[in-house]
Amino acid sequence: MQKRKLGKSGLEVSAMGLGCMGMSFSYGPPKDKQEMTALLRTAVERGVTFFDTAEVYGPFINEELVGQALASFRKQVVIATKFGFDVNPNFDPRGMKGSPCLNSRPEHIKQAVEGSLKRLKIQTIDLLYQHRVDPNVPIEDVAGAVKELIQEGKVKHFGLSEAGVQTIRRAHAVQPLTALQSEYSLWTRTPEKEVIPTLEELGIGFVTYSPLGKGFLTGKMNENTKFDSSDFRSILPRFTSDALKSNQALIELLNKIAEKKKATIAQIALAWLLAQKPWIVPIPGTTKLARLDENIGAATLELTPDDLREIDIASSKIKVQGARYPEKLEKMTGR
């Protein structure tokens, strides 16, 4: 597996990371713990060194899974986790019950980190993200709290998730950011306008979640695809029947390139991301070994300048239908 450095930080990770959320959370009921443990360990054996989790995934059980599964590989792996929500028994991260409980007060960050360290069975968090920008806490205070945790040796690197350009600049001035984690793929290209140029200017890496469009860019969905109520996608505007039907144009484009390259649609989508910048690292999630191998295979797939030009020209004519999130959750991005 090739390695990549996240911006100028010197943090080196596998070119393809692994998003662990879906093993415990969001895409239906939690998966079998033994199976997921085996999958995580196989990922390390296949060369994956970058694993992404968060305290709210479960809540808590995803960090416990990752911590237990990777304990014997500690020196080989980079573990990223996130703080930023008040996690209580009534917590609903989808924001569908009450309002999402953001909390990035410095004292809360420190409590969250102590909990994450225990669950992950580690002494230091390699990369700590603010999960969503909290409008009630100045970002300078957040960055200052993480800076103290770095000085104490409890955290190595600082990141933000779904933050806007001004917030990125303000945080970076207090504690240099190693990475921004936001959604980016062929059907979510918003970061290209302002975010990616800012990251390049400041030397910050870009960790892209949902690089396969929450499963859509695998080509396995159509307007007849149904989602269980425990599946997060059941509330997303982009996964309504009409939107899924309309957005098939993107799949047809990717399929054309995939046939030419003797690759899968998912591999083309991931290879396209890797080709955008050398400091972009996708973290596709999966619960299946065959999909893990498929995703890893994309790291060695080379798209030529002609391939990339063809994808860009054709995709520029396709208007993706449907918002990424319901309005309440959409408001929590880009702050």
Annotated active-site positions, please? 57
- DSSP letter at 303? -
Contacts of 218 (CB under 8 A, 6+ apart): 212, 264, 265, 266, 269
* DSSP code of residue 25: S
Closest CA to 182 of 202, 170, 165, 166: 165
CA distance linking residue 332 with residue 109, whole number of Å: 18
Q: How far apart are CA 20 and CA 36, in angstroms?
A: 9
Q: Are 228 and 222 in contact (CB under 8 A)?
A: no
Say if residues 254 and 315 touch (Cβ distance below 8 Å): no
How far is Cα 156 from Cα 11, in angstroms, rounded to an integer?
9
Task: Reduce the DSSP state of residue 59 to 3 states and report it.
Answer: coil
User: Which H helix or E strand runs over 80?
Assistant: strand 78-83
Cα dihedral 178/192/319/234 (nearest 10): 10
Other beta carbons within 10 angstroms of residue 167's beta carbon come to 21
* Vertex 231 angle, CA 226 and 234, to 5°: 55
